[in-house]
Amino acid sequence: MRFLERLGDSIIDLFATIGSFSIFAGRTIRWIFARPFDRSTLLFQMQEIGVKSVPVGVISSFFIGMVMALQLGGALEKYMQGISTFLGGGISVSMVRELAPVITSILLAGRVGSSIAAEIGTMRVTEQIDALVTLATDPIHYLSVPRFLAAIITIPMVSTLAILIGSFGGAVVSSFMYDIPYAMYLENARMFVDYKDLGSGVTKTFFFGAEIALVSCFTGFRAQGGAKGVGQATISAVVISLMMIIVSDYFITYIFQLFGW
Amino acid sequence: MTKISIQNLQKSFGDNHVLKGVNLDIKQGEIMFVVGKSGTGKSVLLKNIAGLLNPDKGQILIDGKNILHFDEKEIVELRKKVGVLFQMAGLFDSLTVFENVAFTLNRFTNYSKAEIKEMVFEKLGLVGMQGYEYANPASLSLGMQKRVGLARAIAMKPEIILCDEPTTGVDPLLGAAVDDLISKLNEELGVTVLVISHDMESVFRLATRVAMLYQGNFIFTGTTEEFKSCEDARVRQFVEGSAHGPIAI
């Protein structure tokens, strides 16, 4: 009986949290159009979320591209000599459609999500958010909107860069390990990758960026009880963002396929 | 004239009934102290007046209007008239001292940058914080942070200032300086001040009237002289700061 009670409470809590999150997301989107619009905070957040994430995105995708070339090239050569000339196409399609967008977003969920949740959580437990309210400023407008906009603008940009660098990483290994000239790799990539692939990959990161920003701001706003609460909010932000990216990736891909993307 | 009127205010957190229907009138231009043991709901009362918490029942009237019925626009306008000094100052640590004080001036007024600079420097001068304009709040002591918090609270020339334990965590000299400052603001700007405190020295130095909160109700409301001579054993214990008496520690 007690187990059923606890299960019931957990389910009610889960639905209450989903409801609160939906209201929070709706309010964030509604506040985008409200005045005053703080352009300098937006630019600052774009630098924090986007520009400072470039090294993480670029270095990771370069090595992922190289690993892809090693693994795929080795497997192809094992079954048919010379077929590794198709490496350019294989690596680029994987990087464009799935690997670069998803892995970059996962990395940024860690870097950006933890930073947003810790910052807002600290503001919550040190009365800074209460102070915002008393200064006639809606905390969602002031804190959540610039981070949300910065994330949906810059995360697709970082992912596009990651796609290019990841494909280049694949080209470097293909050239050194399998003697595939850069021109052939590029020609092969252009043969297999079209604008729909690029559209599909980059559009996904727009949604992933929104998920990271909203989840991290939401968990930060709900932080309670000092340093421990801030730590808990940070963990929740990263874990929930990661899960949402992976789960939503499947559904977004499925919907895109319905539309022939 | 009554500036703030609290009528039958009730607030609970689960089974914990913090405010059990409190009533309090604060007159225009007076310094009202709300005192009481820690955990009696003083800060909860302040947060209800500041709009940070919603009461379960009751009314909060400011200038005769029930603020609980205000729409979003009216609330924003009201907040521009009410300055709040938080217990831990609540300064934005991503902004400098100057930016903290200029926060509402930048967002809600059409003053030029030069005018805002002049106003911020004036407010910081008033609280004795000139020379710290471009410091990061985190690098200041709590007492200094509280003074900057006060400068920020008065930046928009509010009609009401709410102070949550302004002298807690600061040395006695600085505590006296903060009290002088509140008194000066009250005299020069004519603002109505509500102070939440358990610092008895501050109460006798500054208060026009005192109200004592105990177990969710006010058990005393009156002048400092009446407070000093009150015969209620609970009030006596609090005034004398005794560990023994009807108020359990």
Per CB-CB distance under 8 Å, the chain B contacts of A127 are 86-90
Q: Nearest CA to CA, how far is B67 from chain A (Å)?
A: 14
pLDDT grade, residue B126 (50/70/90)? Answer: confident
pLDDT grade, residue B169 (50/70/90)? Answer: confident
In this structure, what are the phi and psi dihedrals at residue A65, rounded to the nearest 5 degrees? -60, -40
Say what the pLDDT of residue B193 is: 94
Per CB-CB distance under 8 Å, the chain B contacts of A119 are 94
Per the CB < 8 A criterion, the answer to whether A171 and A88 are in contact is yes
Q: What is the DSSP pairing of strand B209-214 with strand B82-85?
A: unpaired
Can you read off the two tokens belonging to residue B210?
């005192």
Per the CB < 8 A criterion, the answer to whether B74 and B82 are in contact is no
**How far apart are alpha carbons B111 and A205 in whole angstroms?**
41
Statement: residue B175 has pLDDT above 90: no
Quick check: B50 and A136 CB within 8 A?
Answer: no
List of residues 6+ apart from A244 with CB closer than 8 A: A211, A215
HSE-up of residue B18 (Cα within 13 Å, Cβ side)? 22
Say what the pLDDT of residue A72 is: 87
Per the CB < 8 A criterion, the answer to whether B148 and B137 are in contact is yes
Residues of chain A with a CB closer than 8 angstroms to some CB in chain B:
36, 119, 123, 126-128, 130-137
Quick check: B93 and A127 CB within 8 A?
Answer: no
In this structure, what are the phi and psi dihedrals at residue B218, rounded to the nearest 5 degrees? -80, 125
**How far apart are alpha carbons B151 and A131 in whole angstroms?**
13
Per the CB < 8 A criterion, the answer to whether A70 and A84 are in contact is no
Distance of CA A253 to the CA centre of its chain: 15
Q: Nearest CA to CA, how far is A122 from chain B (Å)?
A: 10
Any idea which residue has 């860690």 for tokens? A110
In this structure, what are the phi and psi dihedrals at residue B157, rounded to the nearest 5 degrees? 50, 65
ipTM at complex level: 0.88
Distance of CA A14 to the CA centre of its chain: 23
Q: What one-character DSSP code corresponds to residue B216?
A: T
Quick check: A134 and B108 CB within 8 A?
Answer: no
More confident of the two residues B14 and A145: A145
For A175-188, the DSSP string reads: HHHH---HHHHHHH
Establish if B92 touches chain A: CB-CB under 8 angstroms: yes
Say what the pLDDT of residue A257 is: 87
**How far apart are alpha carbons B152 and B241 in whole angstroms?**
33
C-alpha gyration radius of chain A:
21
List of residues 6+ apart from A55 with CB closer than 8 A: none
Per the CB < 8 A criterion, the answer to whether A129 and B52 are in contact is no
Per CB-CB distance under 8 Å, the chain B contacts of A137 are 103-104, 107
Quick check: B52 and A134 CB within 8 A?
Answer: yes
Q: Which of B84, B89, B108 sits opposite A134 (nearest CB)?
A: B84
**How far apart are alpha carbons B102 and B125 in whole angstroms?**
14
Q: Which of B51, B88, B104 sits opposite A133 (nearest CB)?
A: B51
Quick check: A133 and B91 CB within 8 A?
Answer: no
Q: Residue B82: closest CA among chain A residues belongs to which residue?
A: A134
**How far apart are alpha carbons B215 and B213 in whole angstroms?**
7
Q: Nearest CA to CA, how far is A143 from chain B (Å)?
A: 12
Per the CB < 8 A criterion, the answer to whether B181 and B126 are in contact is yes
Amino acid of residue A20: S
Using alpha carbons only, what angle is made at residue B83 by residues B78 and B89, rounded to the nearest 5 degrees? Answer: 140
Which H/E stretch holds residue B22? strand B16-27
Size of interface A-B (CB pairs under 8 A): 53
**How far apart are alpha carbons A96 and A102 in whole angstroms?**
10
Task: Identify the segments of chain A with pLDDT beneath 50.
Answer: none
Q: What is the DSSP pairing of strand B209-214 with strand B217-223?
A: antiparallel
Statement: residue B121 has pLDDT above 90: yes
Q: Residue A142: closest CA among chain B residues belongs to which residue?
A: B107
Q: What one-character DSSP code corresponds to residue B68?
A: G
Burial B22-43 (b: 16+ CB within 10 A, else e): bebbbeebbbbbbbbbeebbbb
Per the CB < 8 A criterion, the answer to whether A139 and A132 are in contact is yes
Q: Residue A124: closest CA among chain B residues belongs to which residue?
A: B90
The total number of residues written for chain A in this structure: 261
Establish if B244 touches chain A: CB-CB under 8 angstroms: no
**How far apart are alpha carbons B40 and B80 in whole angstroms?**
28
Residue range B201-215, pLDDT digits in tens: 889 988 999 999 998
pLDDT grade, residue B80 (50/70/90)? Answer: confident
Quick check: A131 and B107 CB within 8 A?
Answer: no
Q: Nearest CA to CA, how far is B61 from chain A (Å)?
A: 17
pLDDT grade, residue B184 (50/70/90)? Answer: confident
Q: What is the pTM of this model?
A: 0.86
Per CB-CB distance under 8 Å, the chain A contacts of B103 are 135, 137
**How far apart are alpha carbons B55 and B44 in whole angstroms?**
9
Per the CB < 8 A criterion, the answer to whether B195 and B83 are in contact is no
Establish if B104 touches chain A: CB-CB under 8 angstroms: yes
**How far apart are alpha carbons A168 and B64 in whole angstroms?**
70
Longest C-alpha distance within chain B, in Å?
Answer: 58
Q: Nearest CA to CA, how far is B201 from chain A (Å)?
A: 26
Per the CB < 8 A criterion, the answer to whether B3 and B15 are in contact is no
Question: In whole numbers, what is the pLDDT of chain B averaged over residues?
Answer: 89
Say what the pLDDT of residue B87 is: 87
Q: What proportion of chain B, given as a percentage, has pLDDT over 90? A: 49
Residue range B38-50, pLDDT digits in tens: 888 899 999 999 9
Can you read off the two tokens belonging to residue B242?
């005794």
Per CB-CB distance under 8 Å, the chain A contacts of B108 are 136
CA distances from B24 to A197, A221, B134, B202, B211 (A): 67, 32, 41, 20, 8
Q: Residue B162: closest CA among chain A residues belongs to which residue?
A: A134
Any idea which residue has 């609280």 for tokens? B127
